[in-house]
Amino acid sequence: MAVRSRPTTRGWGCGVAPAFQLRSMPLDLSPLPLIDAHCHSLLRDFTQLDEAAFLGHFSESSDPQQLLHHVPHSLFWHGAQRLLSSLHGCAPELPALLEARRKTAPAELITRLLSGQGYQAMLVDRAYPPHGLPLEELQALLPARLYEVVRIEAVAEELLPQTSGLRALQRAFGEALRRAVEAGAVAFKSIIAYRAGLRLDAPSESKARAAYKREIEAAEQSGRVRLQEAPLLAILLRQALEIAAEHGLPFQFHTGFGDQDLDLRLADPLHLRPILRDPGLAGVPIVLLHAGYPYVRQAGYLASTYPQVYVDWSLAAPFLHLGLEPLLASLLELAPFSKLLFGSDAHGIPEHWLLAARWSKRALGQVLNRYVERGWLSTSQASDAAHLMLWKNAAILFRLPSSPSARG
């Protein structure tokens, strides 16, 4: 059993944290460090997007009608447009904003957006967007240290065409996941919610074998591999969870909202109960991504009940904008500070990182401030809670190296 030691949080945030002074009300969290527990890579041409492509990053819809005619009337878009335009010094209109982005070099755009936001580290699922920048190129652009999160379905999809049966796929899949851990992956992630939903039957080898054959046939007919057979996905998920248990590696689950592929009815994290109650998997920290939105209270309940369950609020930040305040308040009704993680789910464009940071820090400050005003927390307790949720919990949970020399 290769259990890695958990680092302390010493060394993190140095250079940023000392600048944080406790102030009189309201609590100002803007100078605090951040660790992004869940994000993705950037599009190669992220500065050159047209209207539909750019607006597509402000909605979970891919329908052009929705993007062009309705997204511009959303509060998310209005808040984002106002903030981004002020940053570029352009008119708060889509054509002016696109033009300002287009004439800015990629590295300069990232500096403009991210400097001063406090990002120290980011956990990246590079399986999305499909033709996104490889991790090394992304690292060269970003001011934070990047760590890889391995999307297990992407690993299986790459291996499927090279295998001759379920057993061969499982062998190659296990080897690939173990190699990824050795190479420094800090977590696994599953998007089974998108493909089969979270309400899964117990894995069955005979059903998985039949499903494997159907997947091979479907791949031969369509010329592409897109795993969606629940029995096959369930048996691979179980295998990945067991490997995570061997290494004490955290496991992220997509829960709650997502794009049009998703049957939201099946993305309620309460469906994970059999996994959460399995004694063989009790050592696997489970991270419920996206605050399970709209199943936010369900996610908070699970984090308050199961010692291994954590909740990140990526995608909710930045998509819920001012709605982040009631979302964080709902999570905190039950979930301890030690169980919540900041995340952005930034994908394709770097603007998500700015919006998630700004709006999360503001919302969290406002929520904590209410507890200070009512005498529930001292100012220093509220500050400690903010540090936990914005970076410390992630540094400990994902065992991120804390010495400055470990950063690249």
Which residues would be at the binding site for Zn ion (CB under 5 A)? 345
By C-beta, is 151 or 399 nearer to Zn ion?
A: 151
Confirm if 313 and 340 have CB atoms less than 8 A apart.
Answer: yes
Partners of 34 in the beta sheet?
119
> Of the two residues 13 and 250, which places its CB atom closer to Zn ion in the complex?
250
Q: CB-wise, 28 or 345, nearer to Zn ion?
A: 345
Amino acid symbol at 241: L
Nearer to Zn ion, 121 or 368 (CB): 121
> Whole-number minimum distance, CB 193 to Zn ion, in Å?
11
**Pick 256 or 365: Cβ nearer Zn ion:** 256
Judged on CB neighbours under 10 Å (0-12, 13-18, 19+), 203 is middle
The smaller minimum CB distance to Zn ion, of residues 201 and 259, is found at: 259
Render 140-180 in DSSP notation, one character per residue.
Answer: HH-SSEEEEEEEHHHHHHHHGGG-SSHHHHHHHHHHHHHHH
Residue 348 CB, shortest distance to Zn ion, in Å, is 11
User: CB of 40: closest distance to Zn ion in angstroms?
Assistant: 6
* Closest residue to Zn ion in the complex (CB): 345
Q: What single letter denotes the amino acid at residue 249?
A: L
Assign residue 202 a region (left: φ > 0; alpha: ψ between -120 and 50; beta: otherwise).
beta
55 strand-pairing partners: none
What sign results for the dihedral spanned by CA atoms 326, 331, 334, 339?
negative
In whole angstroms, the minimum distance from the beta carbon of 290 to Zn ion comes to 8
| Torsion sign (Cα): 387, 391, 393, 396 | negative
| Minimum distance, C-beta of residue 79 to Zn ion, in the bound complex (Å) | 21
Smallest gap from residue 346 Cβ to Zn ion (A): 9
